[in-house]
Amino acid sequence: MKKAIHPTWYPNAKITCACGNTFTAGSTKPEIQVEVCSNCHPFYTGQMKFVDTAGRVEKFKKRQSSAITKKVSKAEKRRIKQEKRIKEEMNRPDTLEQLRKTA
């Protein structure tokens, strides 16, 4: 096995959570900062709490709301397009004389 290719192993690496909890574990880094640990994670505490990093929940809700409003079937799109075409046809002048008056 080659020497000096493996990272340094720290058997007592200090792990610090955002809630203030600290504990030790083996790692290749001497200190680790985490956002959620077993003392504050909703699964372990039994409390309903959103763990939101960088607005993921808001982004998801925004996508869901836009998906609901944009949901239109192909048949409905065809019907709208046909109605638009009919309205344009109705507004078109019938004779050349009417066309000259509007221009």
- Mean pLDDT confidence for 13-34: 93
Strand pairing class (10-17; 22-27): antiparallel
% the chain with pLDDT above 90: 33
The CATH architecture annotation of domain 10-49+56-93 reads Irregular (4.10)
Minimum mean pLDDT range among 5-9, 13-17, 52-56, 73-77: 52-56
- Residue boundaries of the structural domains of the chain: 10-49+56-93
Task: Kindly report, residue by residue over 63-83, the tens digit of the pLDDT.
Answer: 888 777 667 788 988 999 999
